[in-house]
Amino acid sequence: MTSEYLPGLAGVPATKSNISSIDGEQGILAYRGYDIRELAEKSTFEETALLLLDGCLPGAAELADFDRQLRGERRLKYKIRTIMKNLPTSGHPMEMLQTAVASLGMFYGGEEVLSDGITGNDVEYIHSMSVKIISRMSTIVAMWEHIRHGYDPIEPRDDLTHAENFLYMLDGQEPDPLKVKIMDACLVLHAEHTINASTFAAMVCGSTLASPFLVIAAAIGTLAGPLHGGANQRVVQMLKEIGRPENVRQWLDDRLAKKEVIWGMGHREYKTKDPRATVLQKMMVEWGEAQGILSPIFETALELEKACETALGPKGVYPNVDYYSGILYREMGIAPDQYTPIFAVSRVAGWLAHWREQLSDNRIFRPTQIYTGKKLRHYVEIDKR
């Protein structure tokens, strides 16, 4: 029996899931049936994370308890800080994040529950691990911004929301309300996106009953690539290269003639504009109006989108989530190489939701292959080769 080979497993169902869905023709992304645009406007990251983990919108008391749990797990043991302080400051923050998250299991334990075969039936264990990881991911990313510049990190505060505390830990300032609103919405928008590369990596790792810390470390490593989460940093670099709006047309013509990538444009799942990009663009305008001016890089992005709509729109290529997220973070004063770690701080909620779903009916992933190598042959002694 032979199987059809589809590069990248394009269109091959890898699992059954009720966590999120995409309508690529209509440009709709939904978490547990709720449109992402409505969640970004009305929900919070804490509420959205619990929705993804448990499957339904929580009541007020349930949400308050979850929020309390997250606030109580923000601190890190000093030995984890020591590990971070001894990492090369020239390394990419995603490499640091993967290292730090993988090390968490050595300090907080819990993998023995999985090795004993309790797996998806132990909802309390899964929830506890999820809270620890979601909370500490943001702490690790924020602390690194100070550690890599030679300073002691800022301690987390339990009187702030998830988005507020993250922004506070990044620069030590009381966060601006609009900046908090935008960051919280960004965390909601990036929290989940069906079976993408990093989520699939988490599922494969989770199917072996590896500890949740290693599951998330596997996902972080996958998210780091420029064809996945690293694209938002490339978008900003690309727009800087273009320089000004009036340079867009010639730059795009040259780029397309060379068949080079237009970072932030196109998505395998969407035939229209990514709904998350639409929300981010609106927030970018709101930020610009609050500052009294739209930045040149945002104006360049708008002009490039317009040019790409003419050149690439007929092919179903439109802006994806990475196109505007990096620009927005840049305008908020966040270092470019922190854009993808922030993506991870958000997407960890979706990864953990899929980890939980995988454990509920687990079977280790073991795909097959189409062998293209040599036929069976005899070993040749080295003096006869």
- The answer to whether residues 222 and 356 belong to one domain is yes
Does residue 236 lie in a domain region? yes
Does residue 137 lie in a domain region? yes
Name the active-site residue from 267, 337, 354, 383.
267
From 346, 299, 345, 349, select the one nearest 324 (Cα to Cα): 299
DSSP string, 54-108: HSSPPPHHHHHHHHHHHHTT----HHHHHHHHTS-TTS-HHHHHHHHHHHHHHHH
- The answer to whether the predicted template modeling score (pTM) of the entire model surpasses 0.85 is yes
- The answer to whether residues 152 and 257 belong to one domain is no
Does residue 286 lie in a domain region? yes
Residues 89-102 have a mean pLDDT of 95
Whether 267 is catalytic: yes
Residue with more model confidence, 137 or 369 = 137
Does residue 369 lie in a domain region? no
Domain containing 269 equals 231-331
pLDDT higher than 80, residue 315: yes
Does residue 1 lie in a domain region? no
Whether 171 is catalytic: no
- The answer to whether residues 97 and 202 belong to one domain is yes
Does residue 185 lie in a domain region? yes
Does residue 13 lie in a domain region? no
Residue with more model confidence, 120 or 245 = 245
- The answer to whether residues 110 and 149 belong to one domain is yes
pLDDT recorded at residue 117: 56
Average pLDDT, the chain: 91
pLDDT higher than 90, residue 24: no
pLDDT in tens, 271-307: 889 999 999 999 999 999 998 888 889 999 999 999 9
* % of the chain beyond a pLDDT of 90: 71
Write down how long the chain is. Answer: 385
Contacts of 149 (CB under 8 A, 6+ apart): 89
| Sequence-separated contacts (24+) of 19-25 with Cβ below 8 Å | 19/52, 19/192, 19/194, 19/350, 19/353, 19/354, 19/357, 20/52, 20/192, 20/193, 20/194, 20/350, 21/194, 22/193, 22/194, 22/269, 22/270, 24/267, 24/269, 24/270, 24/271, 24/272, 25/271, 25/272
Whole-angstrom distance, CA of residue 88 vs CA of residue 226:
21
Name the active-site residue from 67, 162, 322, 354.
322
pLDDT higher than 70, residue 229: yes
For CA atoms 104, 110, 112, 116, the dihedral sign is negative
- The answer to whether residues 155 and 66 belong to one domain is yes
SS3 234: helix
Residues 71-92 have a mean pLDDT of 94
- The answer to whether residues 210 and 157 belong to one domain is yes
pLDDT higher than 50, residue 241: yes
| CATH code of residue 317 | 1.10.230.10
| CATH code of residue 206 | 1.10.580.10
pLDDT higher than 50, residue 2: no
Whole-angstrom distance, CA of residue 159 vs CA of residue 162:
10
- The answer to whether residues 151 and 63 belong to one domain is yes
Which pair of tokens denotes residue 295?
A: 């930045």
* % of the chain beyond a pLDDT of 70: 96
pLDDT in tens, 360-373: 888 999 988 889 99
Neighbouring C-alpha atoms within 13 Å toward the C-beta of 109? 2
Does residue 12 lie in a domain region? no
On whether the CB atoms of residues 328 and 284 are closer than 8 A, the answer is yes
Whole-angstrom distance, CA of residue 359 vs CA of residue 122:
10
- The answer to whether residues 180 and 166 belong to one domain is yes
- The answer to whether residues 193 and 265 belong to one domain is no
- The answer to whether residues 134 and 236 belong to one domain is no
- The answer to whether residues 208 and 180 belong to one domain is yes
Residues 207-227 have a mean pLDDT of 93
pLDDT in tens, 328-345: 999 999 999 999 999 999
- The answer to whether residues 174 and 207 belong to one domain is yes
pLDDT recorded at residue 8: 82
Under the banding of pLDDT at 50, 70 and 90, the label for residue 227 is confident
pLDDT recorded at residue 120: 52
> What is the tally of structural domains in the chain?
2
On whether the CB atoms of residues 320 and 24 are closer than 8 A, the answer is no
pLDDT recorded at residue 115: 58
Neighbouring C-alpha atoms within 13 Å toward the C-beta of 381? 2
pLDDT recorded at residue 1: 42
